[in-house]
Structure 1
Amino acid sequence: MDDLPVILLAGGRHADEIEAEFRARYDRDYRIVCAGSAAGALDALRDLVAGGVPVAMVAAEYRLSDGGGAELLHQVPAVVATARRVALVPVSEYFEALDALRAATLRRDMDTFVGIPRGPRDEEFHTALVELLSEWGWSVARRTVSATDVVAAPGDRQAGAVHDLLERLGIPSRRLDPGDDDALPILEEAGPGAEFPVVRAYNGRILTGATPAAVSEAMYGGFDSIPDGSIADVVVIGAGPAGLAAAVYAASEGLATIVLERDAIGGQAGSSSMIRNYLGFPRGISGMRLAQRSRVQAGRFGARFYTGRAAIRIAPGPADEPPHHHVHVDGAQMCARTVVLATGVAYRRLGVAGIDALVGAGVYYGAATSMAREMADRDVYVVGGGNSAGQAAVHLAKFAGSVTMVVRRARLADTMSDYLVREIEATPNITVLPRTIVSDGGGDGQLRWLRFDDLDTGSSALRMADALFCLLGAEPDCGWLPGGLAVDERGFVLTGRDTPQESWAGGLPPASLETTVPGVFAVGDVRAGSMKRVASASGEGASVLPLVHAHLASLREQEYGAPV
């Protein structure tokens, strides 16, 4: 029992009911520790942390004998920043306390609040707890089970990239040193002289010299398994929120749907530690969970996923065949009646040679949630002022000694959602350097220092640094698209009335999400004028389906000479 993570309960008048409810559901996998007051709970929490015991959750009754539960939960991060915090409210006090609870949640004094169950099988209560415990288990806890093992020496950058991919895919994994006992049978199966990293996938397949692309392809099936001569109704290029939504709706409406993704399913959104303003998830949801659920949903409707290789060309099919497109990846080709571009955007490079040379060795592009656990007590910097940067900073602050955000603008509120600005302001170990850029950095094979330039005064300052996470503005990757597909001056794909008038057919613009190439649509961040938000990308992915259906209908009419 001593090695189990702890759920700490602080109870008031309803302490017995609360303890019984928690023990009935969680006593097997967690150690339940009870306290009868706020002071007693804090003392118990300090003792647990001093003893190295992981604390998964602190749940406090709204009224305690020596204060309020919200006040107790507010103090928890000073002792252990990673524990999930829940206020438990008697039903008789719920509506009276609602405004105060909402305000406390906005201040990030707690993760959520729930009513104390009035009887058996209160599944709404337990759903809230299980969601929080699941996120804690994924983002904080050390793995107790592993579906995929990565064997490499400490500091192996390629192994780190593979591990980050697995984290973003939500696949439980372990990083093993070649000398570990558990690594020996894997290395024996790989054979003598195997190139590191060596990966054993969940299906038992052994990969040597593994790359993220090779591991991703091994997880979801190779492109070589695509049947020759088959023509999909829809090929979706990109599996971020927009592409996943398009896949769900296309497959659910009976269309033969293929999804191509060169990296991790979920795109940039998949690396977000917690999205709190996505419709339908009042307690928030991690980007990984959202992507995982969407992939499963699309797959159950029949969509097929192929990952690990980038699309490199779109070309028209032969003139003597019914109209369709050929979508090429390295070594494979797919035929599609329609194509949905949902490739999203990539973070811009910092452009500082000394820093870019240390990517994977203290410098990371993107949120790199898998690295957060390694940041314990370290000095971490986050470059960027958008929502992704804010989410990364809040998540890293649960582990790091300090997190400093470096932003060009004078205020975070100019580019970041209000709820995140408030969360950052309420996190004591996050500081913000406004009107500042990173101008240099380096180290002896590992990041050790950074130089910062003040944009207003021109002064420079040198600081020691353990890690730098870069979440700079977005750049589309559209150079591979056909020449007849119009883009704006920044490289984003033009659609509908935003396309050049000289490309309009019969004086009419393409459909609202259609590009200048008939049957090729663009949704989400890659599209010029999009909102660059998860919800809007998902909405566009869903909205493209009527346009796809209309184009398919026109193709059938061309083929058969009459509406079908």
Structure 2
Amino acid sequence: MDDRPVILLAAGAHAREAEAELRARYDRDYRIESVGTADETLERLRSLVAERAAVAMVCAELRLPDGDAIELLHQVPAVVATARRVALVPVPEYRDALDDLRAAALRRDMDTFLPLPQGMRDEEFHGALGELLSEWGWSVARPTAGASIVVAGPGDRAAAAVHDLLDRLGIPNRRVGPDDEEARPLLDDAGPGAQLPVVRVLSGRVIAAATPGAVAEAMYGGFDEIPAGSVADVAVVGAGPAGLAAAVYAASEGLATIVLEGDAIGGQAGSSSMIRNYLGFPRGISGMRLAQRSRLQAGRFGARFYTGRAAVRLEDGPEDEPEHHHVHVDGAQLCARTVVLATGVTYRRLGVAGIDGLVGAGVYYGAAASMAREMVDRDVYVVGGANSAGQTAVHLAKFAGSVTMVVRRADIAETMSEYLAREIAATPTISVRTRTVVADGGGDEWLQWLRLVDLDTGETTKTSADGLFCLLGAEPDCSWLPDGVALDERGFVLTGRDVPQDLWVDGRPPGSLETTLRGVFAVGDVRAGSMKRVASASGEGATVLPLVHAHLMQLRAQEFGAPG
């Protein structure tokens, strides 16, 4: 039996050229099938679903004998919601069709449109298809081979958290049961009586009683490996978009750069299934891919990453090294001349005991993209009305039987980008309940029901639910910072002219991204007044570098006795 994922081609006049192009590149890993009409395409898709075949992509030539690609691709999600959809446009027709194609892409009738290749080695064409297939493989397909293997029993919440971490890092991973033959060598390496879950990471190391922090630290290097007495020019605390941008620019300019992250590299943005409005990615990019590429970029410039333990204290160095800052994590400390705070925010908890007691068992805080595959044909609820909630709802709709967004505000357009609100409105399996909150919920070992309250009428509704994804809004965690760092009333870090005047030095405010501690800066979502968008966070991470350089120059001037 051929179990390769299917790329289905619907083509008319250019069928021979299009099929040859696909076979030349993808025939080893994908099953290329070709049909001639829109009706045949939908019929073949239904039969593939009946055969339980994985359909990775549907490519359709713009003009078909019984219709066009736009209408055909619009109908595909009703049959196969997860397949990527591409319109193939003959070059002579491209200009005249461009307005219709753009409108269709905005309506999410397709993932992208591309001109048919004009000859050999059309890398722009194949680069676009490769990106789409890569995202499909990460978010939909279950890996047949795993770079990491997790040994755990059914319903193991710790294992689910490890899977989520590995998926956010883009590491292929599989779960096997403790009685599985493949689990035996891992359990032997872990030792007698090893507590599950047991995880084999990329390096081959086997971890018993694995936690996300232990797995992250094993993958990217432990804090114990930091050379004694080393002093970094820049310590970036947090590896979301802002922290990663700061690391890329600092390391590329020759500064000794270290990055600390207590969770997965990429932060909350790393769990986003698709970011469509990030500059330079016209077809969108998943948060995982963006984080993965940024980490590799920073690493190639020399930045060092340490993950798995959160920062717990920041303090100035002793009297003999006052120009240093010490960042403490559990069991270790890092010394740096400047510190960039890029810790982002966390999602607020519902505060409902019955729901919070089921975290990892149908209840998730954040996008938890890895759990979308477990929601096939289930009734799922998403709490929140910002972009992160909208992206989560759209991604879940590819799998779930129904997705209900629960939003406190009267209209999601108040807090969500227009393109996402439009996509939600165009997705028939997503419904939006505005002016509504989740008041209660529960279940036996797994979420089974929710109680919703209408804020205008007070009416209460009890409904069955198989999954609840909470993206409720942002709270910074700045409890570990010293009193010398000024915060606003909501706990966000104050910088620049937002700092109260009585804390200015010599009548001058701190630099635009500088805190009330000299040499300590804040960027991204943790900073008061930031835009809370991926692009703006990345921009702040880059913008902080001139301030870092200026502070380092001051330190050098003081060291050599010149005026600061």
Query: Which range, TM-score by smaller chain?
Result: over 0.9
1:294 corresponds to: 294
Q: Does 1:207 pair with 2:207? A: yes
Equivalent residue, structure 1, for 2:39: 39
Quick check: 2:316–2:322 contact (8 Å CA) kept in 1?
Answer: no
Q: What stretches of structure 1 of length at least 5 have no aligned partner?
A: none
Matched, 1:6 2:6: yes
- Which residue of structure 2 aligns with residue 413 of structure 1? 413
Q: Structure 1 counterpart of 2:121, which letter?
A: R
Partner of 2:368: 368
User: Contact (CA 8 Å) 2:272, 2:287: kept in 1 or not?
Assistant: yes
| Residue of structure 1 in register with 2:351 after alignment | 351
- The aligned length equals 564
State how far apart, in whole Å, the 2-side matches of 1:201 and 1:321 are. 39
Any residues of structure 2 matched to 1:238-253 within 5 Å, and which? Answer: 238-253=238-253
User: Which residues in structure 2 correspond to 1:549-564 (within 5 Å)?
Assistant: 549-562=549-562
Q: What is the rounded CA distance, in whole Å, between the counterparts of 2:446 and 2:334 in structure 1?
A: 42
- Paired AA for residue 235 in structure 1: A
Partner of 2:74: 74
Partner secondary structure for residue 20 of structure 2: helix
Equivalent residue, structure 1, for 2:269? 269
Aligned to 1:183: 183
Deviation at 1:82, TM superposition (A): 0.2
Answering whether residue 466 of structure 2 is matched by residue 481 of structure 1, we say no
Deviation per CA, 1:23-81: give whole Å up to 9, x if none: 11111110011001001111111111111010000000000000011100000000000
RMSD: 0.8
Cα distance in 2 for partners of 1:365, 1:177 equals 26
1:462 match: secondary structure: strand
Q: Tell me the residue number matched to 2:444.
A: 444
What is the match of residue 491 of structure 1?
491
Aligned to 2:471: 471
Q: Note the C-alpha offset of 1:185.
A: 1.4
Q: Deviations over 1:319-357 (max 9, x none)?
A: 222511111111001111000000000000011111000
1:100 aligns with 100
Cα distance in 2, alignment partners of residues 181 and 229 from structure 1 = 47
Please report how far the alpha carbon of residue 144 of structure 1 lies from its aligned counterpart in structure 2 after TM superposition: 2.1
Q: Which residue of 2 aligns with 1:519?
A: 519
Report if aligned partners of 1:238, 1:267 keep a CA contact under 8 Å in 2. yes
Query: Unaligned regions of 5+ residues in structure 2, if any?
Result: none
Deviations 1:429-453 (A, max 9, x none): 0000000000000011211000000
Amino acid at match of 1:211: T
Percent of residue pairs identical: 77
**Deviations 1:196-236 (CA, angstroms, capped at 9, x unpaired):** 10011111111000110000000001001111111100000
Any conservation in 2 of the 1:322–1:559 contact (CA below 8 Å)?
Answer: no
Q: How does 1:424-435 map to 2 (within 5 A)?
A: 424-435=424-435
For 1:426, the aligned partner's letter is A
Q: Is the 8 A contact 2:231 2:334 kept in 1?
A: yes
The residue aligned with 1:232 is 232
Question: Contact 2:267/2:344 (CA < 8 Å) preserved in 1?
Answer: yes
**Matched residues in 2 for 1:543 and 1:57: separation?**
40
Taking structure 2 as the reference length, what is the TM-score of the superposition?
Answer: 0.99
Runs ≥4 residues deviating over 3 A? none
SS at match of 1:42: helix
User: Which residue pairs with 1:85 in the alignment?
Assistant: 85
Structure 2 distance, partners of 1:167, 1:18, is 33
The answer as to 2:174 corresponding to 1:151 is no
Match of 2:311 in 1: 311
How far 1:2 sits from its partner (Å)? 1.5
Q: Which amino acid aligns with 1:191?
A: G
What is the one-letter code of the residue matched to 2:373? Answer: R
Letter in 2 for 1:138: W
Distance 1:380 1:33 in 2: 34
Query: Residue 506 of structure 1: SS of its match in structure 2?
Result: coil
Deviation of 1:181 after TM superposition, in Å, equals 1.5
Per-residue CA deviation, residues 524-554 of structure 1 (Å, 9 max, x unaligned), is 0000000000000000000000000000000
Structure 1 residues 162-173: aligned runs within 5 Å:
162-173=162-173
Give SS of 2:528's match: coil
Alignment deviations for residues 60-109 of structure 1 (CA, whole Å, 9 cap, x no partner): 00000000111000000000000000000000000100000000001110
Query: What is the TM-score normalised by the length of structure 1?
Result: 0.99
Identify the residue that residue 50 of structure 2 maps to in structure 1. Answer: 50
Answer whether contact 1:556 1:563 (CA < 8 A) is retained.
no
Counterpart position of 2:24? 24
8 A Cα contact 1:150 1:174, kept in partner: yes
The answer (yes or no) to whether the contact 1:57–1:84 under 8 Å persists in 2 is yes
Deviations 1:496-541 (A, max 9, x none): 0110111111100000000000000000000000000000000000
Cα offset, 1:563, TM superposition: 7.1
Aligned partners of 2:496 and 2:26: how far apart in 1? 54
Q: Give, as a single letter, the amino acid of the residue that structure 2 aligns with 1:271.
A: S
Q: How far apart, CA to CA, are the structure 2 residues paired with 1:189 and 1:246? A: 39
AA aligned opposite 1:93:
E
**Residues in 2 aligned to 1:504 and 1:229: alpha-carbon distance in whole angstroms:** 33
- The CA deviation at 1:142 is 1.2
One-letter amino acid of the structure 1 residue matched with residue 186 of structure 2:
I
Q: How does 1:455-466 map to 2 (within 5 A)?
A: 455-466=455-466
Contact 2:448 2:464 in 1 (8 A): yes
Q: Is the 8 A contact 2:325 2:337 kept in 1?
A: yes
Residue matched to 2:140: 140
Partner of 1:258: 258
The 2-side partners of 1:244 and 1:563 are apart by: 33
Amino acid at match of 1:94: Y
C-alpha distance in structure 1 between counterparts of 2:63 and 2:165, whole Å: 43
Letter in 2 for 1:252: S
Q: Does 1:509 align with 2:506?
A: no
- Residue 562 (structure 1) shift: 2.2
2: distance between equivalents of 1:555 and 1:311? 25
Letter of the 1:55 counterpart: V
Distance of 1:201 and 1:7 partners within structure 2: 32
Counterpart code for 2:312: I
Give the residue type in structure 2 aligned to 1:167. Answer: D
* 2:536 maps to 1:541: no
The 8 Å contact of residues 553 and 563 in structure 1, kept in 2 or not, is answered as: no
3-state SS of the aligned residue for 2:145? coil
Question: In the alignment, does 2:158 pair up with 1:121?
Answer: no
Q: CA shift at 1:9, angstroms? A: 0.2
Residues of 2 paired with 1:425 and 1:15: CA distance? 34
Letter matched to residue 281 of structure 1:
F
Q: Is the 8 A contact 1:239 1:265 kept in 2?
A: yes
Kept after mapping to 2: 8 A contact 1:245/1:541: yes
